[in-house]
């Protein structure tokens, strides 16, 4: 099987390439990014004969399609996903290439779900949201629902020590902390203001207690399909310091009505100053998840709280490779799949724990 890593010079893309090369079971690995120097340096460092560098212009549909035609499966790590994911999905359909993505944006998830008919007709598998949140968060929610007769409420909290300082990361955070966030309230799909309804929660791992507010993540778009009857479902998130929370919210709100080109320039100029102020960073940083479910079991109200802590990059790389193995084995029918429909929670958890991601259950 020939595998293409889109965005291979980024933090997650590099980790994905390392994991694929480490496995040494793929016919060829193509690594594509607009950062030609970064891709070439990575390929040279690997000293692996079955990996090749490619240039990618993520804003050019022909460039994307040309890269995809070389592979059987493309792995999507090109952010921000609200800008590029629809183009990636359409290129995958035109090139007849399976596509597995870590998309963490509602617009990208909607684009994938809307392409379900085209993907099935083309005999393709498209996996979306194979990351930390969404991704591991969905699997924790699905696992927590085991044994419940009904699930009434799901509350998901993500936390990172600091936001990433790359342009893609900053554009993602400014998008998910401004505008409208999908939620489920009183059994109906609705939207609320991003960055609102701040609350303090305790998350597993070193981050401890963090301030979280509504963020635009895709879990409310897909989880009701596996948790029928859920009435309340929302995602909130935040960072390890109030300085980071306030800075990112201010940046997001100030850029909400700014033209995309100007937004790119502002975010690109913010990376280094935020890093010097220790408000952002690109090194390995701790992340955490907390997933709270309320429902009924044997007619009695029940509450479950699960969580995780560790590297969100390691977790995302692991979930994507688990999904890739399923595609390679031919065990998945053509169509579009969110993480909770593509991966089995307990199987995923075992491999994640082997890679240093710690799972957690709140003591009662």
The pLDDT value recorded for residue 204 is: 95
Structure tokens at 182: 């999908």
Count Cβ atoms below 10 Å from residue 76 Cβ, excluding itself: 28
Handedness of CA 218, 223, 229, 232 (dihedral sign): negative
Q: How far is CA 273 from the centre of its chain?
A: 26
The end-to-end CA distance of the chain, in Å, is 47
Phi/psi of residue 275, each to 5°? -65, -45
pLDDT of 269: 94
pLDDT tens track for 287-325 = 999 999 999 999 899 999 999 999 999 999 999 999 999
Report the pLDDT value the prediction gives residue 206, as an integer from 0 to 100. Answer: 92
Contact 218, 132 (CB under 8 A): no
The confidence score (pLDDT) of residue 46 equals 87
Decide if 92 contacts 74 (C-beta within 8 A): yes
Instruction: Give the pLDDT score at 47.
Output: 75
pLDDT at 283: 57
Average pLDDT over the chain reads 94
CA dist., res. 270 & res. 165, Å (int): 8
pLDDT of residue 77: 95
Cβ atoms 20, 8 nearer than 8 A: no
Sequential pLDDT tens for the chain (364 residues): 999 999 999 999 999 999 999 888 899 999 999 999 999 999 988 877 799 999 999 999 999 999 999 999 999 999 999 999 999 999 999 999 999 999 999 999 999 999 999 999 999 999 999 999 999 999 999 999 999 999 999 999 999 999 998 999 999 999 999 999 999 999 999 999 999 999 999 999 999 999 999 999 999 999 999 999 999 999 999 999 999 999 999 999 999 888 888 999 999 999 999 998 888 886 567 899 999 999 999 989 999 999 999 999 999 999 999 999 999 999 999 999 999 999 999 999 999 999 999 999 986 5
Could you give the CA distance from residue 350 to residue 229 in angstroms, rounded to a whole number?
29
Which pLDDT value is given to residue 85?
Answer: 97
Tell me the two tokens of residue 3.
Answer: 């595998």
Distances (CA, A) of 321 to 65, 127, 140, 236, 286: 22, 11, 18, 27, 21
pLDDT at 335: 97
Domains of the chain in start order, with CATH, are: 2-132+312-360 (3.40.50.720), 136-310 (3.30.360.10)
pLDDT recorded at residue 257? 86
Mark out the alpha helices in the chain (DSSP H runs).
11-23, 36-46, 61-68, 81-95, 106-114, 116-121, 136-144, 167-176, 219-222, 242-254, 260-276, 312-329, 339-342, 345-354
The whole-model pTM stands at: 0.95
**Closest C-alpha to 203, from 358, 309, 315, 314:** 309
In sequence order, the 6+-apart residues with CB closer than 8 A to the CB of 61 are 87, 90, 91
The pLDDT assigned to 104 comes to 96
- Asked if 153 and 294 count as a contact pair (C-beta separation under 8 A), the reply is yes
What are the residues whose beta carbons fall under 8 Å from the beta carbon of 240, sequence distance 6 or more? 159, 160, 161, 162, 207, 210, 286
Contact criterion met (CB below 8 Å) for 321 and 19: yes
Cα separation, 216 vs 105, in Å, equals 7
């Amino acid at each position: 099987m020939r595998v293409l890593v889109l965005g291979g010079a980024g933090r997650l893309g590099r980790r994905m390439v390392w994991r694929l090369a480490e496995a040494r079971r793929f016919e060829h690995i193509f690594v594509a990014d607009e950062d030609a120097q970064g891709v070439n340096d990575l390929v040279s460092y690997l000293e692996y004969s079955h990996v090749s560098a490619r240039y990618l212009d993520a804003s050019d549909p022909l460039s994307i399609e040309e890269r995809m035609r070389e592979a059987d499966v493309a792995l999507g790590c090109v952010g921000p996903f609200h800008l590029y994911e629809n183009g990636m999905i359409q290129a995958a359909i035109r090139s007849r290439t399976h596509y597995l993505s870590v998309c963490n944006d509602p617009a990208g998830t909607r684009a994938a779900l809307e392409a379900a008919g085209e993907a099935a007709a083309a005999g393709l598998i498209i996996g979306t949201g194979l990351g930390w949140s969404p991704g591991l968060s969905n699997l924790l929610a699905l696992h927590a629902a085991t044994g419940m007769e009904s699930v009434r409420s799901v509350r998901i909290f993500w936390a990172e020590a600091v936001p990433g300082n790359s342009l893609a990361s900053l554009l993602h955070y400014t998008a998910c902390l401004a505008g409208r966030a999908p939620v489920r309230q009183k059994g109906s799909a609705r939207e609320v203001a991003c960055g609102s309804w701040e609350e303090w929660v305790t998350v597993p791992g070193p981050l401890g207690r963090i301030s979280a507010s509504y963020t635009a993540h895709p879990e409310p778009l897909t989880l009701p399909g596996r948790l029928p009857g859920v009435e309340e479902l929302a995602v909130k998130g935040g960072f390890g310091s109030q300085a980071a929370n306030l800075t990112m919210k201010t940046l997001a709100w100030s850029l909400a009505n700014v033209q995309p080109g100007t937004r790119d320039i502002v975010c690109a100029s913010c990376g280094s100053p935020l890093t010097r102020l220790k408000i952002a960073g690109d090194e390995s940083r701790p992340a955490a998840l907390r997933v709270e479910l309320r429902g009924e079991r044997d007619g009695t109200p029940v509450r479950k709280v699960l969580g995780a802590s560790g590297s969100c990059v390691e977790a995302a790389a692991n979930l994507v490779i688990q999904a890739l193995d399923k595609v390679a084995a031919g065990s998945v029918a053509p169509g579009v799949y969110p993480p909770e429909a593509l991966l089995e929670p307990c199987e995923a958890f075992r491999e994640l724990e082997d890679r240093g991601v710690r799972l957690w259950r709140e003591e009662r």
